[in-house]
Structures are given as structure tokens and as C-alpha cells.
Amino acid sequence: MINALSPLDGRYLTKTEAIRPFFSEKALIRARLQVEIEWFLALSSHPDIKECKRVAAGDKKKLRSILERFNTKSAEEIKRIEKQTNHDVKAVEYFLKSKMKKIPGCKKSLEFVHFALTSEDVNNLAYGIMIHGALKEVIKPELKSLISKLSGLSKRWGKIEMLSLTHGQPATPTTVGKELAVFVERLERQQTWLNEFKMQGKFGGAVGNYSAHKAGYPKVKWEAFGKKFMRSLGVDPMTNTTQINPHDDVAELSHIMCQIDTILIDFSRDVWMYISRGVFGQKIIKGEVGSSTMPHKV
């Protein structure tokens, strides 16, 4: 921690550790592995892709257990492979193949791991998995909890009167509860947008046209098959792309988060003002220091 390059992993570690399981490199490697495993299983289940042998239920369980048992040691093994390949996604492929050799129903179809994919096909879906995980497990619950707490305080303090200010000057009376209700309403609007948000997915190969897929198996309806696969991972499939996902989805999410942060900055400034006016008081915590030179600071 003391040798961290960024305050996010150093001084503020306790504030960010909840999202580390979703946004670390280890999490990215795991999400890539998930995409590769599920793609192999999808191929094996298609009746027109006969060379990729159908995987029995027991072997499916063994294959998915590779992901379930994934840990730091697994990630380190993949990083060692990457030192040789000098390619992060290929290292995941090699790792998976080495594990699948031990599964009877998979070892004859190893070359269908990463079949027809470009690295971006794996990466963009992996990012979708990671972001959806963080939203579901951390960000949405935190926002819901904050709104609930503010709503509770708004009701509790609904009849506590105070003088409002406009242009920094005394105006007409208001209540503490009503002023907090302003932020509840603003945050609830953004919560609605956040709950409706979904990451998008791209899965069409080297230039987005399913060219390699169609060359190998021209009878397969690859566009429909690809969309079904992307939906199975929880992302909205894109129909027309180049080699890459343009990541308009990330921009969209960033704007929603920016709006939430802007509202919380407004809230923080108002609370700061209420403290300076004596409306709110700060709790004194034994041992904490508010200033290196002024003893009265909280």
C-alpha cells in the first residue's frame, strides 16, 4: 500500500476496495476467461458445428469449474504465459486449453477455443461483465442506500425550520427536511437512468462482418447466434460495428455517473454551508485532527 503508484490503491484504499474485485487486472483476466469458456460451450451446442463435439453435462460442470476455482494463483499463471506470448488475450486462451486437456469431453475440440474471435470480441464483453458486476454489487446498492438515508432524514427533519438564503442573503423560511428532499428527488432521477443502463457488446470478428465465422461454417446464421451469445452474458448486442466496440456505452455511463457526482458536490457544498451557519454540528472523534496548527478545528 505504501508503495502504490496511485492514491486510489494507497491512501484511499479503504474507500475503493469494494470495487477492486470488479476493476482489477485479475478481474479482467477472469472475465476474459468467462467469455472464452461460454463461447466454446455455445459452439459445442450448435448442431451445424459438428467438429466441436457436444459437451456432456458433467464435462460442462468441470469446464465452468475452471472459472469458479479461478484465484490469484490462476491469474499469476496466466501472467507467466503472457511473458512468453507477449499477448494478454492469447495467454488466457493457452491457459484454458491447458486446463481443458484434462476434461475428456473437451480435449478433442481444443482448437475451437477462441474460434473466429478477435481480441476485442473478448475484451469488450469482459468489460461489460466487469462493469455490470460493479453496478449490481456496489454502485447501485450504495446509491440506493444514500437515497434511503437522505429520504429518512428529510422526513425526520421535515418540520425543523430554518432561514433560507438566495444570492447568499437571507430570504424566506424553509425546513431542513425540504432542502434534503431536493437532493432525494435529483438523485432518484439519476437512479432511474442508472437502473435502465446496459453495456453493449460487439462480437463480429476482425472487422465486425463475421467473415472468418462464415468461411468456416457458411450455413450457420452467425449474426443471430452472436446476438444470442452476447445476451447470455447480459449485454445488449450491437448489429453493425468495425473491429471494435466504439464504447458509446461507457460514455453514456460516465455521463450518468458525472450527473450523480455533480449532485453530490452540490449536496456537499450545501452541508458545508449549513455547518458554517451553525445549522449542523460536526461530531468530535477522539484522536482525529482537523488542522495541524489550529486546535479548535474538527
45 and 179 in a single domain? The answer is: no
DSSP character at residue 279: S
Residue bearing cell 463461447:
39
Instruction: Tell me, yes or no, whether 173 lies in a domain.
Output: yes
Look up the CATH number of the domain holding residue 259.
1.20.200.10
89 and 192 in a single domain? The answer is: no
Cell output for 8: 486510489
181 and 107 in a single domain? The answer is: no
Evaluate whether 75 touches 105 at the Cβ level (below 8 Å): no
Closest CA to 24 of 130, 133, 135: 130
Instruction: Tell me, yes or no, whether 71 lies in a domain.
Output: yes
Average pLDDT, stretch 173-181?
98
Element containing residue 236 per DSSP (H, E): strand 236-237
Instruction: Tell me, yes or no, whether 125 lies in a domain.
Output: yes
What rounded mean pLDDT belongs to the chain? Answer: 96
Average pLDDT, stretch 156-177?
96
Distance CA 204, CA 91 (A): 21
Indicate the burial class of 187 (C-beta count within 10 angstroms; 0-12, 13-18, 19 or more).
Answer: buried
Distance CA 270, CA 31 (A): 41
Cell output for 97: 486449453
Instruction: Give residue 296's pLDDT band: very low, low, confident or very high (50, 70, 90).
Output: confident
54 and 128 in a single domain? The answer is: no
Domain boundary among 63, 91, 115: 115
Using a pLDDT cut of 90, give the percent of the chain over it. 94
Evaluate whether 175 touches 157 at the Cβ level (below 8 Å): yes
In 116-235, beta strands by DSSP E: 161-166, 169-175, 200-201
Instruction: Tell me, yes or no, whether 233 lies in a domain.
Output: no
Instruction: Give residue 201's pLDDT band: very low, low, confident or very high (50, 70, 90).
Output: very high
Closest CA to 32 of 116, 107, 91: 91
Instruction: Tell me, yes or no, whether 265 lies in a domain.
Output: yes
Cell output for 44: 459445442
* pTM, full prediction: 0.93
Long-range contacts of 229-232, Cβ-Cβ distance < 8 Å, separation of 24 or more: 229/38, 229/39, 229/42, 229/203, 230/125, 230/201, 230/203, 232/38, 232/42
96 and 177 in a single domain? The answer is: no
- CB under 8 Å to 266, separation ≥6 — which residues? 183
Look up the CATH number of the domain holding residue 29.
1.10.275.10
Instruction: Give residue 155's pLDDT band: very low, low, confident or very high (50, 70, 90).
Output: very high
Is residue 2 over pLDDT 90? no
Which residues are registered as beta bridge partners of 236? Answer: 200
State the total domains in the chain: 2
- CB under 8 Å to 86, separation ≥6 — which residues? none
Domain boundary among 48, 82, 115: 115
Give the count of alpha carbons within 13 A of 31, CB side only: 26
**According to the model, what pLDDT value does residue 298 have?**
87
Residue 30: Cβ within 10 Å count: 22
Instruction: Give residue 164's pLDDT band: very low, low, confident or very high (50, 70, 90).
Output: very high
Residue 113: Cβ within 10 Å count: 20
Cell output for 169: 442573503
85 and 110 in a single domain? The answer is: yes
273 and 131 in a single domain? The answer is: yes
Instruction: Tell me, yes or no, whether 8 lies in a domain.
Output: no
Average pLDDT, stretch 79-90?
98
Distance CA 16, CA 198 (A): 23
Which residues are registered as beta bridge partners of 286? Answer: none
Is residue 214 over pLDDT 90? yes
The length of the chain in residues reads 298
245 and 135 in a single domain? The answer is: yes
The domain in which residue 181 lies consists of 118-221+238-280
User: Catalytic residues, which ones?
Assistant: 167, 291
Is residue 1 over pLDDT 80? no
Distance CA 248, CA 235 (A): 13
Domain boundary among 115, 142, 167: 115
51 and 184 in a single domain? The answer is: no
Distance CA 135, CA 131 (A): 6
Average pLDDT, stretch 9-23?
93
